[in-house]
Amino acid sequence: MAMMTIIIYNQHRPSSLIVRLLFLLIVTIMAAAAASFQVPRHVVVIGGGIQGTSVAYHIAKKSNPQETKITLLESKEPASAASGKGGGFMARSWGDGTSTQKLHEVGFDLYEDLAKELKVSSYRKLPVLSVSPGFNRKGQEQARKKFDSIMPDWLDGKVGRISPMGMGDDTAQVTPKEFVSAMLEQQKDRIDVVLGTCVGIETTTKDDGSEEEGVITGVKYVPRGSDSDNEEPTTLKADAMIVSAGPWSCAAEDWFHGAVELPMEGIKSTSIVWKKPDGVDTVDATALFCGEDDRFGTHLEVYPRPDGSIYICGIGGSDYIQKDQLKNGAFREVCDAKEQRVQAASQSFQTMSDTYAKSGQLDRVQACMRPCPPDAKPYMGPVPNYQGAYMNAGHNCWGIAWAPACGLAMAELVLEGSSKTINLAPFDPARFTSKTRGGRGRKRRGQNVGEQW
């Protein structure tokens, strides 16, 4: 306050002095903030998909192994849900210009660097075509001449209008399961993977008038294979914990006693993977985004992979799983494909590809869920009133594409107190939380609410 008074009192002196005084004030404030922030010693990340693993990975890279221990708590196995069954497509410039645009850009750039560092063979850039259903032989022939360099040989069936959506400079793909495995392998000496389901947290009370009244001291979980109804939970020591468990992250509402409301819907969808046809040496690397095909109820997304397989989603017939079901672990253990949608997607694809109609074979069918908050924005940031608690969940259909950016941003937040890479303000985990809900102490989101024990 004294320094500010000096600045105001001497406002008519040369501007260089004012600038120096302002600089000194800023440095003093920043130094005080840095001194008050403590690097966590025991970090627990809940969720072993590509998002949670990215958070753990970047914390491992940015932290001192002598100071910070990292545990990844996963209910089944790493990349067992959407990160093991997703397409892995990313597009740097496909954002809508809103708050998530930076996640597209930073994520895309990081993937290119990390794929080299981690020796991930499934990463590559590839062009993208927009394909309409129907049959337009003349248009197809013209497109093949006009876009010859990106027209795949296997797109040799009946299709309608064809136009490029990207030439491969800002669109790419990765097989997310390989990426997860590569991150864990590189940091195997830093990241301890524990299999079990989180059931709550342990805290101590901070009663010094500050807003953070609950201080994280541990994460409670039931080890995999245990009888969750009869066995007492085990506790992992933690002074920082990040909830990054996809659609099941909404269970954290109950762990934090209503300090955050996390509206969430899980969209459960089927996908299929085709083997490389016999006699085909190379499956051309061009992705397809197909229009609505009313004949089959599909809007296929087709991604050829470097191993010669073709991954297809956009099959239609998705189920919408509500928050109460997700809190109870719906489809976490078993998530089966819909056979009817498998048949519809196969017929739709084979209509477009004579090659696969004649000699294509399905390799596997599967299903997974993507986590969807109401505003299609993720929950990223600190949990109000709980020191050491953070959310990183609800990344919708772009969770795989954004993972490196989210992981880096959350690592900065946890280790340094703020994110320099991404502005996290639009992703506030408490943005849907009523000011009259949450917490059990005297303050909720900064509002005095009296004793409520």
Q: What does the DSSP assignment read for 269-286?
A: EEEEEEPPPTT-S-----
Whether the per-residue pLDDT at 103 is higher than 60: the answer is yes
Pairing label, strands 319-321, 265-274: antiparallel
Question: Per residue in 260-305, pLDDT tens?
Answer: 999 999 999 999 999 999 989 999 999 999 999 999 999 999 999 9
The pTM is what? 0.88
- Number of residues in the chain: 453
Residues with Cβ within 8 Å of residue 159, at least 6 apart in sequence: 131, 132, 133, 134, 135, 136, 140, 352
For residue 265, with 0-12 CB atoms within 10 Å meaning exposed, 13-18 middle and 19 or more buried, which class applies? buried
DSSP 97: S
Residue ranges of E strands in 68-118: 69-74, 89-91
CA distance 394 to 378: 5
Contact predicate 389/216, CB 8 Å? yes
CB of 317 within 8 A of CB of 272? no
CB 303 within 8 A of CB 287: yes
Report the percent of the chain where pLDDT is more than 70: 87
Model confidence pLDDT, tens digit, residues 78-94: 999 999 999 999 999 99
Distance between CA atoms of residues 377 and 393, nearest Å: 9
Name the average pLDDT for the chain: 90
Rg from Cα positions in the chain: 25
Q: How far apart (Å, rounded) are the C-alpha atoms in residues 448 and 301?
A: 50
